[in-house]
Amino acid sequence: MTQFESTAKGRILRDLSGDLMDSNHATRRFFRCWLDGSYLGEDHYRANLEFIKGNNHDRKAMRSFIINEFCKYSAHDAQCSAGYAQSVIAKAFPIEALALLNDALIDEAIEFGADHVEAA
């Protein structure tokens, strides 16, 4: 681990490096694992799925959900608070880039919900 990665900010920035618009980016893949309960278990999976299925038509609600969950995911990995993770993420990208990332993550979450509709 480098000195840069020894801080929560460094770990978050490391995870955000590269092309986040690539759906195969490691952070995007691990965020999908966050949504599917691989980190926090079946209750988290079911809560995510329920929210997504109930709100997939509402972009504003989905945006709020995705920002919240992505910050909690980043905080979990970086071992910090979700508020701190959100601050680091917001300062690391221009607003336009964050909007594009949010849209991509929303689309993936909606697809995740559609793929798992039978599982719930």
Confirm whether 11 is domain-assigned: no
From residue 86, alpha-carbon distances to 4, 42, 50, 71, 74 in Å are 18, 25, 24, 5, 8
Nearest to 72 by CA among 106, 35, 36, 24: 35
pLDDT tens for each residue of 10-59: 999 999 999 999 999 999 999 999 999 999 999 999 999 999 999 999 99
2 pLDDT band, cuts 50/70/90, is low
Confirm whether 51 is domain-assigned: yes
Confirm whether 16 is domain-assigned: no
Q: Is the Cβ–Cβ distance between 115 and 58 less than 8 Å?
A: no
118 pLDDT band, cuts 50/70/90, is low
State which residues form the domain around 74. 23-115
Tell me the C-alpha distance between 8 and 24, whole Å. 23
CA angle, corner 108, sides to 102 and 111, nearest 5? 140
pLDDT tens for each residue of 80-107: 999 999 999 999 999 999 999 999 999 9
Confirm whether 9 is domain-assigned: no
pTM surpassing 0.95?
Answer: no
Confirm whether 50 is domain-assigned: yes
From residue 4, alpha-carbon distances to 7, 12, 14 in Å are 6, 10, 8
Q: Would the CA dihedral through 75, 72, 37, 21 be positive or negative?
A: negative
pLDDT of residue 6: 85
Q: How many distinct structural domains can be found in the chain?
A: 1
pLDDT of residue 117: 73
75 pLDDT band, cuts 50/70/90, is very high
Confirm whether 55 is domain-assigned: yes
3-state secondary structure 9-28: HHHHHHHHCCCCCCCCCHHH
3 pLDDT band, cuts 50/70/90, is low
Confirm whether 2 is domain-assigned: no
